[in-house]
Amino acid sequence: MTTHEELHATIRDMVQRGRGILAADESTPTITKRFAAVGIESNEETRRAYRQLLLSTPGIGEFISGVILFEETLAQKADDGTPLVEIARRAGIVPGIKVDKGLAALAHAPGDKVTQGLDGLAERLAGYKAQGARFAKWRAVSPIGPANPTPLGIQTNAEVLARYAAVCQEAGIVPIVEPEVLIDGDHDIAQAEAVTEAVQNEVFAALKRHRVELEAMILKPSMVVPGKAHPVKASPEEVAQRTVRILRRTVPAAVPSINFLSGGQTPEEATANLNAMNDGYPHLPWQLSFSYARALQEPPMATWKGRPENAAAAQAAFLHRARLNGLAQRGGYVAAMEKTG
């Protein structure tokens, strides 16, 4: 199989109606914080057990087509010795890997950050691919504030995202390009919309410069929502209208799938907003789906609490949340379904 064929086979397996991506790639500090909130001690064994619980949930492959893993998880095994990546594959879920190395302050752009990890990326991708990864994810962030993001911050992060995507495609790895616009702050939804448009315009200009094949990538953007400290919440209809408007202005039709991050929304908000887009705008050129972390995992993590006797209930909570998002991907979710899990 050629590299081109590899990339398109992965896209075919990942971009499917009613299915989305589970982001289970939390760094050790992030998952430690989330575990602590529900009384779970974070160590290698509890992290392995939790991610095994998610991937071995019966029926989960009906709604999840891909899983983004943290490097630690890629090498871990289930209780019976089966590699976790094989558990995913058996469920019809494509394994992927987070490859960025986190954020650093960007010089001459106070308040902005740049994502690290390009050094040695090609070599790391070869190793990850040998372990079973077929796609990768790289996150860049744009904070919203009185002076942020700066033009330099937007341009630098777009350039880095494009360089990452190009290296991935050369390796036969599908890149997920994640230009997150942070929800932190008290900005209104109009400011979020303006920043999102500027960020995504710059990202696609950079992808073009680096000759990234748009048909062989997935975009993971933020929905257009007001800052979490803003006093006025946006309805799902307004989120959908503003988000779709920006996608039409910035994202070429060649991109096969747009898998939104949940970005601080509650599980219910993330599902309702995704549904409003698919219900209200059914004839867009891209598939609109999900790539959620906390919005999929918050219910099962809180149910599990690190106790083996809670595993079945936690899997049921996870399957319910995944099913609702699968319905939202088709525009078939209604809020009353929240109570029928």
**Which residues are the active-site residues?**
178, 220
What per-residue string of b and e applies to 99-130 under the rule 16 or more CB within 10 Å gives b?
Answer: bbbeeeebeebeebbbbeeeeebeebbeebbe
Residues 226 and 185 sit within 8 Å (Cβ to Cβ): no
